[in-house]
Each structure stands twice: as structure tokens, then as C-alpha cells.
Structure 1
Amino acid sequence: MEIQHRAELCFPHLLNISCRKPVLHWSEVVFRNAVLSFISFVTVVLNLLIIISISHFRQLHTPTNILLLSLAVSDFLVGLLLMPLEMYRNTACWFLGDIMCVLYCYLVTHVVCASIGNIILISVDRYIAICDPLHYTTRISTAKAKCLVCLCWLWYALYSMFYLKDELIEPGRSNSCTGECTLIINYVIGTLDLILSFIFPVTIIIVLYVKVFVVAVSQARAIRSHITVSTLQYAVPLIAKSDLKAARTLGLLIVVYLVCFCPYYCYSLIEVNFSSTHATFVIFLFYINSCLNPLIYALFYPWFRKAISHIVTLQILQPGSCEELL
């Protein structure tokens, strides 16, 4: 009987402090991991295509695309690291130790928060492009976009240290036994994170997009009413069709973001332990946003589809391909 009990433990030699192995039916594990592995693979491939496209073709080196590149990097890391580690954490004993558990939690917080920050920057960029197009080129440049991206990643690196300060000081403090990787955040820090990482960003994004939507609708009505360009410039600044399309894309991006992120933060209001089955579901829904973002680009950005064609056919390996117009 004791031998059977030891066989059920993650660390049989640590009889009194070892966790039990997760009890899951093999068919459930195979099906769930197969689906999640496919989503992880698609997330990595699609975001890698965006990274290669924007990095390779000089025509795509615009402020907006620099922000999209930063978002693609964070989404790429979600698919490459966070999704596989989350699958491992929920289907097997955690044999990587408390230090690696803390690093994983830190990586989750940093990458996901940086993704939120990138969406805020994209919203601000589209707001200026739509609501103040005459001054867009003077206010937003490629160099400024790169600087903002670096500040975004640096800020959330420091924020993640504050969010996980207890775990960083005492790794494994949230674990009830050896062989698991859990994160329990106290209500004060959890409430502060809810405000800084969700309520505040969502408020900014929605307010900016409502203003963008109002201006875009005014522009569309003016065009349908056949108002002359000279009159239009005094009433509503003339907006390029590409900017209007970018505004619609931003709207869809925000809707998908809210659908994927709301369940996670709603769950965090009622539960501090993210180790249950329900927590696993909201976490993966949280991560699936990283897979949907590049699909939105593929649907609405012709340059992305053309860039994929150049990459798949290996045309980017030809001399001077970075100068080609897409």
C-alpha cells in the first residue's frame, strides 16, 4: 500500500511534502494538448511571419508597423513559451523547481502586460492619425515609435517585479507542496493590478476609439454627401482610406481583446488561486488573443498577405528584396 502511495507522488523520496501526480484521463490529456499545441504552433508561425515581414521590407518601417511589430513579438513569446509551459504546468508535476516557476510567472506578467501596453500605443497612434492627420507626421515618427516601444517593455518589466515581489523574495511561497507551480496574489496587489492592467487601459482604449469612430463616421458622411475638399478641410480633416481601414481594424482588435481578457480579470476578482480547471480555461482564453491578432492582420492588411507570399516563395532571399514594393 505504501509503495502504491509513493508511486502517486511527484517526488516519492519526499513522502511528506511531495504533491500528488495530476489525475487526468489519457484521452482528455491527448485531446486537450493536441488542440492547445496546434493553437500554440499557429500563434508562433503567424506572429513570426509578421515579425519577418515588418523587419525585412523597408517600406513597412512606419511608426504604426513598429507598434504592430512589438505586439507581434509579445504574441510570439506567448505562443513559443507561455502556452507550452502552461500545458506542462497543468498536465504534469512541476519538476523545474521554484526558481523556474517564479521566472515563468514573471514572464507571463511581463509579456502579457507588454501586449496590453502595445495595444494602448496602437490606439494612441490611430487616434492621432484619424483625429489630427495634418500633424501626424510631426508628432509621430519611426524613431519616436521605437522609443515608446522600448519604454513600454521597460515599464512592464519593472511593474512585473512589483507584482511578483513576494514570490521573487521567497520563491515557492504559494506552493502547498513540492512539485507544483502556483501563484497566489493578495487582494491588495490583485486589485491594483486589475486597475492598472485592465480598467485603466480599457478606459483609455475605448475613449480613444470612440473619438476615432466619431471622426471616421463624420468623414464617411462627408464623402457620401459629396462635400468639396476645400470645405471638408475646414470641417473635418481629410483622412486617407488606409487610415479609415486601420481604424476599423483597431476596432476589431479591441473587441477581440475585451472578449479574451475580460473573463480572466473577472475570475481574478473572485479567486486568487490560478490552479483550478476554470483558471486554466480563462488563462488559455487570455493567451488565444495572441493567435487571433495576426489573423485580424491577415484579413484586413493586404501588405501582410503579400509579404507572406514573398516569404513562402523565398523571394525575400533574393538580392534587393527588402526594397521591393508590396
Structure 2
Amino acid sequence: MMEIPAEAELCFPRLGNTSCSKTQRPRPVAAYMLLSVISVITVTLNLLVIISISHFKQLRTPANLLLLSLATSDFLVGFLMLFQISLLGGCWFFGDLMCVVYYIVDHSVTSASIGSMVFISVDRYVAICDPLCYTIKVTKTRVDISVYLCWATSFVFHCMCSLDTLKQPGRFNTCVGECVIVVAYFVGITDLFVSFIGPITVILVLHMKVFAVVVSQARALRSCAGGVTLQGSATKRSELKAARTLGVVVVVFIACIMPYFCIVISGQDVLLNASSTTFIICLFYFNSCLNPLIYAIFYPWFRKSIKLIVTLQILKPDSWQANIK
């Protein structure tokens, strides 16, 4: 594996001793290339999801609008990875204020992503456990309001958590070129419950209830026979498949995000130096790359819409009315 030789260089040579030094350990080129590729794939795939749901009329359902919110947060995460890649060398070149903004935006986007998953879980729960009232309970207006509140609440919450740091950016840096945020234990625990334990608990409880219904409906499907039941059976299969897809998304998400929150609760004060926690933060980000890949595997409409987008069929008149499902 190719490596860049370690040299005792300063992040900002003109500042002399006040500047931080670049990392002293060898930095593999493969790490830069891998993270860059992941960032590009994350941005590209989630952009395809955004274009698909936004362009094609048939896909503008309340359930897909929630997927659009999730894809938007994942799309932004792909761009945020570029800042993380720059930190592999041990230097932050964007200033103290930008460091705090990066931290706030990063956590706000992630919280919005988790919130979107909660709403998606609620959507699947209503669709499977109370299908007769689904169109009444889950409307486009209610979904739009839920998404807006989710994003606004996430941003305001993390701004409040970082209020002291916003007043004096860089207060915890030991030299110029660091991006260090100190999260107080109380704030970290609050974030843990609001952004992780609470939402994940809701998601798991809903999934347990959905799983119970899935088992009973699966048994009912096996006993279905005759032309009268075929249409209803097809609808049930579609809903069950959507629930299974969400289950995969949730399991992958928990596996990727758990290491970060384990660090949050590991000490009295958590020092978040992005250059020293690269692996965990990138694992945190990698989930955003996996979500659209899961859609591509489980959702035929996504594969069909990708084909229309890549071949530029969406540029044709009335392409937004194309039959995708």
C-alpha cells in the first residue's frame, strides 16, 4: 500500500510555533482515495433518489416524500465528508467559526436523518397495521409539516447545544489549525437521548408491532386462493416488502451510528477532535452511502428511474408522467 512519508510540517508555516503540526504518522493514499470515492458515491446516489422522487409525479407519495427527506440528509452528508477527508492530514484550514458551523450542520443533518427514519417507521406502521385509515391519517400536508418540523427542530437543538462555542469559536484549540469541540457530559447525554435512544426506541417498538402483523399476514397470504384475493395479496406483499426494506435500513443505521454514541457516554467530557476520530466519524457517514444502495436492491421503481435519468429520458416533454412503478 502506498504511503505518504510523514514529515514534521506545520499546518500554517507563516504562523510559526502557534501553528499546529501535521500528523506525524504515515498517511495511506488509499484512505484518501477510499473516502473520496465514498463521498462521490454518496452524493451521486442520493442525488438520483432526490431527482427521481422530485421529477416523477407517480413517485410523489407521502411515503416517498419521507424517503426524499432521508435522501436529502444523506446527500448533505456526502458533502460534509469532504471536510473530514481534509482532516486526515491533521489540519483544519477553514477557520474556527467554520469548525463550529461544520459541527452544528453535521449533527443537525444526522438528527434530521434519524427523525426521517422515525416518520418512515410510523408511515409503515400505519400502512400495515391500520391500512383502512392510511389515506386519512397520512396525507401530503401532514408529511410536509412533519419534515419541516424535523429539520427545524434538529437545527435549533444543535445550535443551542453549541451556543457557548458559537460565542467564542476555537476556545478549546491548543494551536492554529485544530478543529476541537468539547461536548459537556450533560449536553452529550441529552443529545444521546434526543438524537439516538429516544428515536431508535420508537423505531424498534414500531418494528416489533409491524413484525407481529407481518407474521400473521404472511400466514394469511399462504392461504389466499382465487382471483378475488389476488389484488389484495399483491398489495399486502408490497407493504410487507417496504417494511422489510426499512428494517434493513434501520439495522444498518444502528450498526454505523452506535460507535459514535458509545464515545459520547464514555467520559465526563468528550473531546471531539475530528482528526483523531476519523474512522468512527466516517463509519457514521458511510451509512448515508448504503441507504440508496439498499433502495436499488429492494425498490424496482428506483432502478427504473435511474435508467431514465442516466439515459436523459427525463429531458423529454411529459417525462414526469412516466409510469415508474
Confirm or deny a common fold (TM above 0.5). Answer: yes
Match in the other structure for 1:270: 266
Indicate the larger mover: 221-230 or 121-130: 221-230
The 5-angstrom pairing of residues 1-326 of structure 1 reads 8-26=9-27, 28=28, 30-80=29-79, 82-226=80-224, 240-270=236-266, 272-275=270-273, 279-326=277-324
- How far apart are the structure 2 equivalents of 1:219 and 1:192? 39
Label 1:311 to 1:229 Cα distance change in 2 as closer, same or farther (>3 A).
Answer: closer
Contact 1:130-1:239 within 8 A present in 2 as well: no
SS in 2 for 1:274: strand
TM-superposed deviation, 1:276? 6.8
The normalised TM-score by structure 2 is 0.91
Label 1:222 to 1:287 Cα distance change in 2 as closer, same or farther (>3 A).
Answer: same
Label 1:126 to 1:229 Cα distance change in 2 as closer, same or farther (>3 A).
Answer: farther
SS in 2 for 1:185: strand
Unaligned runs of 5+ in 1: 1-6, 232-236
Contact 2:90-2:275 within 8 A present in 1 as well: no
SS in 1 for 2:180: coil
TM-superposed deviation, 1:226? 3.9
Contact 1:315-1:321 within 8 A present in 2 as well: yes
Letter in 1 for 2:32: N
Contact 1:75-1:290 within 8 A present in 2 as well: yes
- How far apart are the structure 1 equivalents of 2:298 and 2:177? 45
SS in 1 for 2:273: coil
Q: Greater share of strand residues, 1 or 2? A: 2
Indicate the larger mover: 273-282 or 61-70: 273-282
Contact 2:87-2:274 within 8 A present in 1 as well: no
- How far apart are the structure 2 equivalents of 1:203 and 1:38? 33
Label 1:197 to 1:324 Cα distance change in 2 as closer, same or farther (>3 A).
Answer: same
Contact 1:219-1:239 within 8 A present in 2 as well: no
What is the CA deviation profile of residues 239-272 of structure 1, one whole-angstrom value per residue up to 9, with x for unaligned ones? Answer: 6221111000011011001100111111222251
Letter in 2 for 1:264: Y
Letter in 2 for 1:69: L
Label 1:104 to 1:57 Cα distance change in 2 as closer, same or farther (>3 A).
Answer: same
TM-superposed deviation, 1:230? 11
SS in 2 for 1:14: helix
Report percent identity of matched pairs: 53
- How far apart are the structure 1 equivalents of 2:9 and 2:35? 26
- How far apart are the structure 1 equivalents of 2:278 and 2:174? 18
TM-superposed deviation, 1:138? 0.4
Letter in 1 for 2:177: G
TM-superposed deviation, 1:222? 1.6
Indicate the larger mover: 13-22 or 39-48: 13-22
- How far apart are the structure 2 equivalents of 1:252 and 1:230? 32
Contact 1:267-1:279 within 8 A present in 2 as well: no
TM-superposed deviation, 1:278? 6.0
Indicate the larger mover: 87-96 or 120-129: 87-96
Label 1:228 to 1:164 Cα distance change in 2 as closer, same or farther (>3 A).
Answer: farther
Contact 1:89-1:180 within 8 A present in 2 as well: no
Match in the other structure for 1:234: none
Match in the other structure for 1:4: none
- How far apart are the structure 1 equivalents of 2:85 and 2:44? 19
Letter in 2 for 1:40: S
Number of aligned residue pairs: 312
RMSD of aligned alpha carbons: 2.1
Letter in 2 for 1:47: N
SS in 2 for 1:183: strand
Contact 1:274-1:280 within 8 A present in 2 as well: no
TM-superposed deviation, 1:277? 6.4
SS in 2 for 1:94: coil
- How far apart are the structure 2 equivalents of 1:199 and 1:239? 33
- How far apart are the structure 1 equivalents of 2:314 and 2:81? 30
TM-superposed deviation, 1:160? 1.1
The normalised TM-score by structure 1 is 0.91
Indicate the larger mover: 162-171 or 129-138: 162-171
